[in-house]
């Protein structure tokens, strides 16, 4: 006998039940990693209850838009979407959920009256139901690769339209998801729309079993970053503080396991360029103290930004007094939310997350390129394969995978700053040609909500 829709539904219930049991077994390990105290990591305090569905209700707020952005990187991308959503739906609040406390801190820093933060409940059915009762969203937007089976099932049952936005699916993820197709396929089918970054991503979602009529391509929201004049002005002010003629390279978003390679590279760079300055911004705030200690142990003199500037940001009129001591080798960016400023102050960028094999897959080249900066990356950058290929075409990105090669590449490129500026301008133009994703995504959201209202 052919299988019926009822049979498939029963199978889905059994699969999610088994998944929930496994999640319960693993949850102590996951919770320990999430709540473990680390230097520089904000504490969750009494708000840990929200992870278990004890979500504070939104008093006086009806049918908000709910966006899930797991941590810092996703929140920064979500930030770009918020003005467009608010302009189209000015009467709606936007609830942003994050899993991590660092992500929560970024949402709070937005300081927008129409944005409310809540912690994302763990993917237990009872926790999700508690959240939905408290928030009662009119729309659910999940960011990039946040695909939680119990959450999506509960959202669908509640009649809330769900979109996977800025969606990406690498070949590696496709292979892994296929091994779990019995779990992932029903979850993906709960989305009303999957709005992918690139056509390749869209094709992989279809290959995983998604209905191609529900998959669209918008480009990446992250391309739509608009730089304020203040960022470049403040970057120039910081650069004057460093010294206009001093060679400055920035090492951005490094992870544990990359730091020794970076320091070994810098040792070699200093031999060729004794006055070179390294601006270093680790990916995670809990690594700030560790990186400072490693740098000092390696014989470098470190200046921490938090020691230098007591306020979180350089104000519009602020011209940093005096100049950085020439004995300082490393300027450690140990603040949150100042990555653009740090990037703007440098001559060239090394992007971290790219020296750990397949573990991370690199970080975003968009911000450096928009600032007119050429980047160097390690050999693992599969998360941004499409953009990297475009940047390779205009020589706005180069690859170096060892301490020797990184040092060689940085020294060689710093020797011709006019060429760096020229190639940086081409990198900027490459990113601008990819913009427009927010407008396209907003049209999909409008169409979906309009269809829902007409039902």
Q: Give pLDDT tens digits for 131-168.
A: 999 999 999 999 888 899 999 999 999 999 999 999 98
Indicate which CATH number applies to the domain containing 177: 3.40.50.11720
- Residue 10 placed within a domain: no
Establish how many alpha carbons lie within 13 A of residue 123's alpha carbon, considering only the half-sphere containing its beta carbon. Answer: 23
- The residue segments making up the domain with residue 318 are 229-432
CA distance 314 to 332: 16
Task: Say whether both 176 and 275 belong to one domain.
Answer: no
- Residue 31 placed within a domain: no
Indicate which CATH number applies to the domain containing 280: 3.40.50.2000
Collect the ranges in the chain with pLDDT lower than 50.
1-8, 311-320
User: Exposure string (b/e) for 442-453, b if CB count within 10 Å is 16 or more?
Assistant: bebbeebbeeee
What is the predicted pLDDT for the residue at 314? 46
Task: Say whether both 274 and 322 belong to one domain.
Answer: yes
- By three-state DSSP, how is residue 96 classified? strand
Q: Give pLDDT tens digits for 184-201.
A: 889 999 999 999 988 889
What would the DSSP string read from start to end of 333-391?
Answer: --SSS-HHHHHHT-SEEEESS-SSTTTT-----HHHHHTT--EEE-S--GGGHHHHHHH
CA distance 10 to 334: 51
When computed from its CA atoms, the radius of gyration of the chain, rounded to whole angstroms, is 23
- Residue 7 placed within a domain: no
Which parts of 178-312 are beta strand (E)? 193-196, 215-217, 248-254, 277-282, 302-304
- Residue 74 annotated to the active site: yes
Task: Say whether both 78 and 201 belong to one domain.
Answer: yes
Task: Say whether both 400 and 449 belong to one domain.
Answer: no
Identify the sign of the CA torsion 251, 255, 259, 261: negative
- Residue 5 placed within a domain: no
The pairing of strands 375-377 and 397-399 is: parallel
* Contact of 277 with 329, CB cutoff 8 Å: yes
CA distance 106 to 285: 12
Task: Say whether both 181 and 240 belong to one domain.
Answer: no
Q: Which of 360, 83, 273 is nearest to 351 (CA)?
A: 360
- Tokens 């907003």 correspond to what residue? 442
Instruction: Name residue 349's beta-bridge partners.
Output: 250, 375
Task: Say whether both 404 and 428 belong to one domain.
Answer: yes
* Contact of 101 with 43, CB cutoff 8 Å: yes
- Residue 154 placed within a domain: yes
Length of the chain: 455
Task: Say whether both 163 and 251 belong to one domain.
Answer: no
CB-CB neighbours of 34 under 10 Å: 15
Task: Say whether both 51 and 77 belong to one domain.
Answer: yes
Per 3-state DSSP, the chain is made up of helix, strand and coil in percentages (nearest 5) of 50, 15, 35
Q: Which helix (H) or strand (E) holds 398?
A: strand 397-399
Q: Which of 81, 370, 369 is nearest to 218 (CA)?
A: 81
CA 171 vs. chain centroid, Å, equals 20
- Residue 28 placed within a domain: no
Q: Which of 34, 7, 8, 22 is nearest to 150 (CA)?
A: 22
What is the predicted pLDDT for the residue at 68? 94
Q: Which of 301, 280, 444 is nearest to 351 (CA)?
A: 280
Task: Say whether both 131 and 146 belong to one domain.
Answer: yes
Task: Say whether both 180 and 259 belong to one domain.
Answer: no
Task: Say whether both 415 and 442 belong to one domain.
Answer: no
* Contact of 52 with 27, CB cutoff 8 Å: no
- Residue 396 placed within a domain: yes
pTM: 0.76
- Residue 15 placed within a domain: no
Which of these is catalytic: 10, 50, 62, 74? 74
Q: Which of 155, 93, 99, 160 is nearest to 129 (CA)?
A: 155
Task: Say whether both 116 and 184 belong to one domain.
Answer: yes
How many domains does the chain divide into?
A: 2
Long-range contacts of 288-293 (CB under 8 A, 24+ apart): 288/39, 288/40, 288/332, 288/334, 289/39, 289/40, 290/256, 290/259, 291/254, 291/259, 291/332, 292/332, 292/334
């Amino acid at each position: 006998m052919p299988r019926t829709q009822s049979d498939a539904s029963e199978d889905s219930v059994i699969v999610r039940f088994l998944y929930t049991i496994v999640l319960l077994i693993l949850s102590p390990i996951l919770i320990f990693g999430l709540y473990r105290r680390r230097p520089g990591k904000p504490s969750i305090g009494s708000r840990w209850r929200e992870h278990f569905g004890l979500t504070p209700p939104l008093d006086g707020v009806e049918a908000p838009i709910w966006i899930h952005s797991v941590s810092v990187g996703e929140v920064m991308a979500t930030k770009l979407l918020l003005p467009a959503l608010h302009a189209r739906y000015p009467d709606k609040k936007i609830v942003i959920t994050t899993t991590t406390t660092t992500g929560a801190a970024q949402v709070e820093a937005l300081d927008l009256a129409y944005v409310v933060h809540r912690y994302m409940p763990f993917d237990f059915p009872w926790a999700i139901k508690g959240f939905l009762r408290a928030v009662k969203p009119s729309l659910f937007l999940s960011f990039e690769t946040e695909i939680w089976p119990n959450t999506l099932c509960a959202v669908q049952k509640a009649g809330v339209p769900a979109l996977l936005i800025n969606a990406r699916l690498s070949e590696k993820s496709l292979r892994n998801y296929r091994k779990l197709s019995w779990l992932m396929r029903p979850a993906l089918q709960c989305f009303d729309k999957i709005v992918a970054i690139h056509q390749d991503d869209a094709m992989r979602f279809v290959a995983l079993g998604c209905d191609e009529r529900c998959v669209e391509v918008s480009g990446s929201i992250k391309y739509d970053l608009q730089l304020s004049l203040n960022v470049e002005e403040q970057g120039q002010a910081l650069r004057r503080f460093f010294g206009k003629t001093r060679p400055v390279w920035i090492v951005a978003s490094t992870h544990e396991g990359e730091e020794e390679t970076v320091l070994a590279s810098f040792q070699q760079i200093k031999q060729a360029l004794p006055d070179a300055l390294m601006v270093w911004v680790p990916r995670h705030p809990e690594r700030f103290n560790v990186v400072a200690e490693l740098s000092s142990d390696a014989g470098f003199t470190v200046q921490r930004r938090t020691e230098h500037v007591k306020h979180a940001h350089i104000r519009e009129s602020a011209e940093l007094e005096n100049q950085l001591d020439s004995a300082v080798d490393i300027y450690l960016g140990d603040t949150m939310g100042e990555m653009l400023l740090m990037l703007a102050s440098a001559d060239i960028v090394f992007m971290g997350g790219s020296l750990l094999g397949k573990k991370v897959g690199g970080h975003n080249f968009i911000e450096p390129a928009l600032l007119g900066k050429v980047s160097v990356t390690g050999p693992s950058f599969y998360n941004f394969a499409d953009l990297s290929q475009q940047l390779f075409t205009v020589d706005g990105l180069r690859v170096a995978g060892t301490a020797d090669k990184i040092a060689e590449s940085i020294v060689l490129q710093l020797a011709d700053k006019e060429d760096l500026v020229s190639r940086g301008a081409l990198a900027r133009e490459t990113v601008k040609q990819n913009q427009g994703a927010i407008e396209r995504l907003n049209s999909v959201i409008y169409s979906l909500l309009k269809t829902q209202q007409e039902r």
